[in-house]
Chains A and B, each alone.
Chain A
Amino acid sequence: MLEVKGLTKRFGGIMALCGVDLRLREGELAGLIGPNGSGKTTVFNVVTGIYRPDDGSVAIEGEPLVGLAPHKIQRMGIARTFQNIRLFRNLTVLDNVRAAYHPRVPYGPVSALCRTGRFVEGEKEIREKTMDLLALFSLQVRKDELARNLPYGDQRRLEIARALASEPKVLLLDEPAAGMNPSEVKALMEFLLEIRRRFRLTILLIEHRMRLAMGICERLIVMDFGTVIAEGTPSEIRNDRRVIEAYLGRGTHPDS
């Protein structure tokens, strides 16, 4: 589905990524884990076109995408959320999602200018789709609130809703469980399984808490110092010596 090969990225003198290889299989829910600063978010930023890599390739369903602008990559079927929630803060919940429908508006600018029938129809269709999506996230009652006024949890959910508006094939989630307690994490996990089924998604999520990632994901990819040091099922990872050494540190247990 998504294939990353030899990805390298430097910032100044610092090697943020050096030769990262990873592969997502269609329909899986995989986790990208590793300590802070190991390069997980940088992988997302390179894959979604925010940074241009110094070397390496990224392809979705065989189509290379390195060097393309973020919106083109999004249209190839990759959507994402951000670690430090980036909503359109002064727009309503409704408009946050509708903005993401924009690339596929069924009317042209002239049609919008003259408010033709096609425009009215198109707007109605977008609104209906948006409301359906919001309903799925239980956000429909908040549709007219400004995004910045939402509670933290709703903001995270709205960001996922906005990412889904583009009907992506691959969904990249950057620490979706940040700040959640275990029962909330459980609910999130069920929710992710549900949207994966409904939208036929392949999901890659970042999580730096080892135990949590093991609870959610079917397969784990572990990064440290800008490289992938291991991948496999949670039980394989749990027993991987390199992971235990590099990630878990000396003598601490995998709870942090």
Chain B
Amino acid sequence: MILTVENINVYYGNLLALRDVTLQVGKGEIVSLIGANGAGKSTALKAISGILAPRAGRIVFDGGEIAGLPPHRIARMGIAHVPEGRGVFANLTVVENLEMGAYTRRAGREIRESIEKVFTRFPRLKERSGQLGGPLSGGEQQMLAIGRAMVARPALMLLDEPSMGLSPFLVGEIFQMIEEVNREGVAILLVEQNASMALSVAQRAYVLEAGNIVLQGSTAELQNEPGVRAAYLGG
């Protein structure tokens, strides 16, 4: 297991947002986390990447305890979190955004190579390499956000709602990209509202409801679970 989350409790102020959440991601695996809005999906990712500190429980990444560390230290250990809403730096150019992804890396030449690799995968970003990130379209921003995470060469990528606000066509493209990234050996923890999409790419999944994990299993099992079908797959 590359990531093990054990019984974490996370609060917003006094509001309990996650209760006793336990989940695991294996090396090279895609795991989905599905659930309604406000169920705590994003909160789980934030706790893993250090934006929120859990009040109880353990988070072990690559053999080391990371719960409570600041985000920049966790990022340096090899977790890349693509936040909800993409988090593109609107005041930086596309290239500078990608360079920010490589912030934790020092070797200049390898960084250039990684950036070139992103450009070959997303030619549209290359066309816009000198433009600011702000005016990009939603799809381009999502590509940039994922590309930026790739430049960091993480062992684990956390993706928060990559399909949000995208046309169905782009959603398909983004999910293809996610599978490609995964084929290079990057483990992925995917949070999605679009449950059918999320289940189609993942090997395993967890269902969150009101801060608790209520179901887990292989995606094949979950897709046939009547409760999941009713609540998330629209019958």
Establish whether A and B are touching in the complex (CB under 8 Å): yes
Q: Does B226 contact A (CB under 8 A)?
A: no
Determine whether the beta carbon of A152 is less than 8 Å from that of B37: yes
Interface size class of B (residues with CB under 8 A): 20 to 34
| Nearest CB on B from A226, distance (A) | 14
Q: Does B63 contact A (CB under 8 A)?
A: no
Q: Does A198 contact B (CB under 8 A)?
A: no
Task: Give the residues in chain A near B194, CB-CB below 8 Å.
Answer: 256
Q: Tell me the complex Cα distance, A152–B15, Å.
A: 12
Residue of A nearest to B13 (CB): A149
Q: Does A106 contact B (CB under 8 A)?
A: no
Q: Does A249 contact B (CB under 8 A)?
A: yes
| Nearest CB on B from A238, distance (A) | 15
Residue of B nearest to A36 (CB): B165
Determine whether the beta carbon of B171 is less than 8 Å from that of A183: no
Q: Does B220 contact A (CB under 8 A)?
A: no
Determine whether the beta carbon of B235 is less than 8 Å from that of A180: no
Q: Does A65 contact B (CB under 8 A)?
A: no
Task: Give the residues in chain B near A181, CB-CB below 8 Å.
Answer: 36, 231-232
Interface of chain A residues 147 through 179 with chain B (CB within 8 A): 149, 151-153, 178-179
With A178-B37, A179-B38 known as contacts, the answer to whether A248 contacts B165 (CB < 8 A) is no
Q: Tell me the complex Cα distance, A161–B137, Å.
A: 35
Task: Give the residues in chain B near A239, CB-CB below 8 Å.
Answer: none
Interface of chain A residues 117 through 162 with chain B (CB within 8 A): 149, 151-153
Write 26 A-B pairs (CB below 8 A) sorted by A numbering.
Answer: A36-B138, A36-B167, A37-B137, A152-B37, A152-B38, A153-B38, A178-B37, A179-B36, A179-B37, A180-B36, A181-B231, A181-B232, A182-B231, A182-B232, A182-B234, A183-B231, A211-B234, A248-B168, A249-B168, A249-B169, A252-B169, A255-B196, A255-B234, A256-B163, A256-B168, A256-B197
Report which A residues bind B (CB closer than 8 A).
35-37, 149, 151-153, 178-184, 211, 248-250, 252-253, 255-256
